[in-house]
Amino acid sequence: MAGSIMVRYARKTSKQLAKERSGSHAQMSKQLNYSIDVNQDSFSYMTFDNMSEANQFAQRMREDGWHIIEVKDDYKR
């Protein structure tokens, strides 16, 4: 099961980051569906052996301004 947990992430656009810094995204959080603007050529993924490492990585990436698309275990259905 080496590397069975995958974290997919992408860099947010500068427009999206500015919107979050200004607080105007607060109204959006009340909506159920809203989109995050990401740079199309920044999609990446990392694989991990366990879920705790994957979640720690995802949290660090969020703090650095990345959008986490999914954290997925390939062996779970």
Give the pLDDT band (50/70/90) at residue 56: very high
pLDDT in tens, 40-51: 898 999 999 999
Q: How high is the pLDDT of residue 71?
A: 94
Alpha-carbon distance of 29 to 45, in angstroms, equals 26
Give me the amino acid identity at 33: N
Q: Considering the entire predicted model, what is its pTM?
A: 0.74
Domain boundaries, the chain: 5-73
- Give, as one character, the DSSP assignment of residue 60: H
32 phi, psi to nearest 5 deg: -75, -35
